[in-house]
Amino acid sequence: MVGMSVLWSAAALAARLNPLKRSVPVGTLLSGSALRTEKAVVRYGSHGKRMFIIKPSDYYDRRFLHLLKFYTLLTGIPVAIFITFVNVFIGEAELAEIPEGYEPDYWEYYKHPITRWIARNLLDDPAKDYEKMMALVHMEQEKAQMRLLQLEVRRHMRQKGDGPWFQHETLDKSLIDYEPKASPDN
Amino acid sequence: MKDHEPDAYPQPPKRTPVAEKETALPNPALIGSKLFYYSVDLPVTKFREIIDSIRGRNKYYYYHQNFRRVPDLTECVEGDYLCYYEAEMQWRRDFKVDQEIVKIMQERLRACQTREGPSYLQNCSNELKQFDEVAKAFDARYGDLGAFASGRRCLMKQKQRMLEQQQQA
């Protein structure tokens, strides 16, 4: 019986894979057997068969990258051109020894022309910045000294009592009525 | 017998002798060098000359600033914050200068190693020694001060160093 079923399935397989039969029989779409598709030898003049490739939408990603490129290059390209022209036509400074008796201006200590321009027009002289910071430090130092001095003075005035601080107003002595204790017999 | 035979030790030729071609085949090294010259070397040199001629019309210079020396942190009266500030700024400038010194020594050692190739350990012993000294000194002075390094902290490190020296001695 087993041998019969094996022979039967072998016969069915042979019948299906028969090369003398037609390639696409009618009932093959619904039959669960393996189909043998015939490969037709076709030579295309173009890039091959047009395929509709199903994939998720890349519209948003491409739109984002396009806009990113656009907005960075909108100012990026003029800035790059400007910097190129500055480097080609104006060029960087050369290092030299400070000549005798010459005091260079504070922007003449930088090499690149754009740095020099920024130092000359936008920023303050570094010596001026230094002096500003020194002024702040001096003010804070004076404040600290004053505070310490005030604490010292408070201590002295409280202890000794002969200074202007920590004086409390009392009544005038002439207003005191000594009459109840004026004579010893009251 | 002559006591001086000039042909025994001939003088080397003063100019490189022109090599005479012995084969009819073209020299690939010559072709390669000429190709490189005309395609890369010549355009680059011409471009550089053009740019230099444009730049050379208005030359201007930059200088290195010389700073005056101010009293150190050890010479400041206590509580004189202005003196502290000036000493701190001077310490920072000196720190930058020392960093640049270390970079220069590194550059020298690197150049020496590139020049000598595989035998650098033997041939650049001078540069190696100098770099070693400079790196050790920098480490001893500014070694583990960290990102918030200050003149005061460096002074404290120096004090620690001196205490250790005293203890060893």
Q: What is the pLDDT along chain A (186 residues), one digit of tens a residue?
A: 666 677 776 666 666 666 565 555 555 555 555 555 677 777 777 788 888 999 999 999 999 999 999 999 999 999 999 999 999 999 899 999 999 999 999 999 999 999 999 999 999 999 999 999 999 999 999 999 999 999 999 999 999 988 899 998 888 889 888 888 888 886
The Cα of B61 is separated from the nearest Cα of chain A by a number of Å equal to: 5
In angstroms, the CA B27 to CA B33 distance is 10
Q: How far is CA B97 from CA A114, B74, B85, B101, B138, in A?
A: 25, 20, 19, 6, 11
CB-nearest to A138 from B58, B60, B82 is: B82
In angstroms, the CA B113 to CA B117 distance is 6
Contacts of B158 (CB under 8 A, 6+ apart): B141
CB-nearest to B63 from A89, A109, A145 is: A109
Q: So what's the pLDDT on residue A12?
A: 67
Averaged pLDDT, B122-144: 94
Burial class (CB within 10 angstroms; exposed 0-12, middle 13-18, buried 19+) of A116 = buried
In 3-state terms, what secondary structure has residue A94? strand
Phi, psi of B125 (to 5 degrees): -65, -30
Phi, psi of A56 (to 5 degrees): -65, 160
Q: What is the pLDDT of residues B77-118, one digit of tens each?
A: 999 999 999 999 999 999 999 999 999 999 999 999 999 989
Q: So what's the pLDDT on residue A32?
A: 57
| More confident: B21 or A164 | A164
The interface predicted TM-score (ipTM) is 0.74
In angstroms, the CA A119 to CA A128 distance is 12
Q: So what's the pLDDT on residue A2?
A: 62
Average pLDDT, chain B: 92
Predicted structure pTM score: 0.70
Establish if B36 touches chain A: CB-CB under 8 angstroms.
no
Chains A and B: how many Cβ contacts under 8 Å? 56
Nearest chain B alpha carbon to A96 = B63
In angstroms, the CA B155 to CA B150 distance is 9
Question: Which residues of B are less than 8 Å from A104 in CB distance?
Answer: 63, 65
Residue A65, both tokens: 């990258």
Q: What is the pLDDT of residues B26-82, one digit of tens each?
A: 889 999 999 999 999 999 999 999 999 988 888 899 999 999 999 999 999 999 999
